[in-house]
Amino acid sequence: MESAEIARRFLRFFEERGHTIVPSASLIAEDPTLLLVNAGMVPFKPYFLGQRKPPYPRAASVQKVVRTLDIDEVGKTTRHASFFQMLGNFSFGDYFKSEAIPFAWELLTRSEADGGFGFPEDRLWVTVYLDDDEAADIWHKKVGLPEERIQRRGLADNYWHMGVPGPGGPCSEIYYDRGPEYGKEGGPVADENRYLEVWNNVFMQFQLSAVRSKVDFDVAGELPAKCVDTGMGLERMAAILQGVDNIYEIDTTYKILSRAAELTGSRYGRDRHADVSLRVIADHMRAGVMLVGDGVLPSNEGRGYVLRRMLRRTIRNLRLLGAGDERYMHELTATTIDVMSTLYPELKSSAPNIHAVIDAEEASFLGTLRTGTAIFDVAVQEAKRRGEGVLSGAKAFQLHDTYGFPIDLTLEMASEQGLKVDEEGFRRLMQEQRERAKADAAAKKTGNADISVFGQILDRAGKVDFIGYDYTEAESEVIGILVDGASVPAASEGATVEVVLNRTPFYAEGGGQLADQGVIRTDGAVVEVVDVQSPVDGVIVHRGKVRTGELRVGDGAHAEIDVERRRAISRSHTATHLIHRGFRNALGESAAQAGSENSPGRFRFDFTAMGAVPQSVLRDVEDEVNSVLVNDLKVNAFYTSQEEARAMGALALFGEKYGDEVRIVEVGDYSRELCGGTHVASSGQLGLIKVLSESSIGAGVRRVEALVGVDAFRFLARESVLVSQLSEQLKVRREELPERIHGIVSRLRAAEKELERLRSAQVLAVAGELVAGAKDVNGVSVVTHRVPDGTTADDLRKLALDVRGRFPADRPAVVVLAGVPAERPVVVAAVNGAGRERGLAAGRLVGVAAKALGGGGGGKDDVAQGGGTRVEAIDDALRAVEQAVGAQGA
């Protein structure tokens, strides 16, 4: 039975039993305490916590999940995975144990012909919590399971909570006996390799007041509404129903693994090390494609770092399989999209964007590997020079943390050089980094308490009516006031408040569009609104300050936005749509929006691209878009279904989430996008768009910044004045300016090079005099000299090496020069071979001089450089060097 069919049967079974089928939420968690969705129940967490009223009493879903705690173990075993899918049915105060347990049993044991999974009843075992007699009785008396196949377990195995105060309760898990060839008899308590968990029923029935650990918490009492949260791993079910040994051999994962083996000339099952690499590739490709599909972009922090780490582990393991610098990620991405799109068809439409991001990350990391290899080679040479057989943990950590160099690659390359790596030191530094990250995460852990009050307002008063598409002011009523996150009945003058109205013209920040600003007036107060947000779907919160009077819940209110600001922002938003379309026309459909910000008169647009956009393309896009403005195309907005929107070819923003009903914004026949923002009535109202710059903001993502409307006109006016001034000063026509300026700059650069050559020659001219004036200090020729201020550090070094080279090879020589290139003194020391044989080292001599200068320095034995802060101590520093040579020579 294919994975997609398993999911369909599960959803159909529960839909027939009154469950609302909820599509998988994005992997980008709305919960501020989570980077990524790590459990099937996460999208329903506000309902379980009582922060939001559930819109349905029972639900079922197939939820995408990413867990990274065991990422280093992925591939080493066949049990660990970073990406998987959870099938779950949920009850929010509706049904409980007596229905949830029979539901699970019926679906598992019903024949395949009747829509079930066809598990033999005599191969199923269950576990219940130690004192959960109710669940045990249901299993035995209602379901008919023999008592000997019902086992009781403690808190560590059969009790669930969120790790914070809130709901919790006992679990009842169902296990499938794979047979004696997989382990010993005795049920799950004896061997969980033979007895494989397939379903977990969580019964939330208690309110936990304090949670200190998994097994240490306080129970305040029973929940007023008992809930059910179940989970069944799709991959694990597929392994059983497809008759394979593990999740890497099921239909979806194995197709990716096989493609990786084909590309690299490997064969799964022949070599243990190759098998590990193939499993890493298969797992991480699924995770990577799904993350990028949900709008995550590679970066060095947060969820972007999780994605980057997975993609780079994939590339690294391809290299271990012999890929070298060959680029195979595009092929593997295509295979993954093909495999996963059966359940997630949106991957097909996002394919160009996904390819662009992953291809760019591959190119970037292959470059990183080259850089990291160069750094590694230097570290190896240094270790060998010192006679050390171990590469330090600090160096391995630097390669990993700064250059993205995987530790397994460092270990392999060190071994090839006959070196070991201080793995313990590396692991210690990694653990310290994890503990810092864990402490940061713990500091952010709020249990979603910050949104619960908005959920209560929503439940009490219903959705806020947004009328801002048609009106800029409205009569309304104050239905909620918050001060410092707490709900209050009133707020006095000077208070910083969050105000909720039952209807509002204020647009809440979203989709790249900045929030409206304006004023809320009641009979007794004036509130200046500086920001508007929607922390909970259906609730619009106006943030600002009570300027006069007292604001009270229940007051009638007049809400009025800053119209000029709105118009300027709307121009920017419409301009973003046009620029998006323009870049797609110029670069192809892979140039997908990856972010934006629409400010008054100015906007930025981020999009996926493999490299820099040529200036000629930028000009063409700008010209094309401004032609649309001249044609004054009508801007139209309307609502339709997602299916109809796709059929019309409307663009959905990369990584955005949409409901069943979507709003489409059209600019004539030129642009059509899903969008909830505000726009102008026709393209001519934009006036003009001027692109200012294009740059990289990360692997595979470019950013364009531009002006629109009056701001664009003002910019061009200033540029015109500047061009006129240059034209007048240089006595040439405007069109001749580029050539004239190019000529001036070329001559200036040539003059600077000649000046540099003359200055260097002048500095080096004194080399003969310095050699002739060398002092004999205990048989060592010593030159100490202060060069004229302004001599560059580079020239100082050249002079020192030139002077050193003029001494006979068998005559020990030390050259120490000092100067002030800018405001701080610099000292350079050079020692020839004969001098080094006498035990003299440039690094130590520079250290002596730098100490006298109030600074530091060092380097190799033959040449070194340092500096300090005390210009007045240069002569003392040079004398200190002579004394040090005398002491060494003696």
Q: At CA 10, angle to CA 4 and CA 12, rounded to 5?
A: 100
Give the torsion sign (CA, 675, 677, 678, 680).
negative
Q: Is 558 annotated as a binding residue?
A: no
CB 468 within 8 A of CB 516: yes
Burial class (CB in 10 A: 0-12, 13-18, 19+), 687: middle
**Which residue matches tokens 């019964």?**
203
Closest CA to 740 of 749, 732, 750: 732
Give the torsion sign (CA, 403, 406, 408, 413).
negative
- Identity (one letter) of the amino acid at 325? D
- Identity (one letter) of the amino acid at 587? L
**Which residue matches tokens 């007794």?**
524
The single-letter DSSP state of residue 247 is G
Q: Is 679 annotated as a binding residue?
A: yes
| Distance from C-alpha of 483 to C-alpha of 218, rounded to nearest angstrom | 31
Query: What's the gap between Cα 109 and its chain centre?
Result: 42
The count of other CB atoms within 10 Å of the CB of residue 778 is 13
| Distance from C-alpha of 818 to C-alpha of 880, rounded to nearest angstrom | 13
* Local structure of 18: helix, strand or coil: coil
Give the torsion sign (CA, 627, 628, 629, 632).
positive
CB 175 within 8 A of CB 150: no
Q: Which residues of 16-52 are buried (b: 16+ CB within 10 A; e: fewer)?
A: eeebeebebbbbbbbbebbbbbbbbbbbbbbbbbbbb
For residue 91 the two structure tokens come to 């009850």
CB 601 within 8 A of CB 570: no
| H helical segments located in 386-468 | 393-401, 407-416, 423-444, 449-461
DSSP string, 584-647: HHHH-TT--EEEEEEETTEEEEEEE-SSPPPHHHHHHHHHHHHHHHHTTPBEEEEEEEHHHHHH
Task: Pick out the residues of the known binding site for Zn(2+).
Answer: 573, 577, 675, 679
Task: Pick out the residues of the known binding site.
Answer: 573, 577, 675, 679
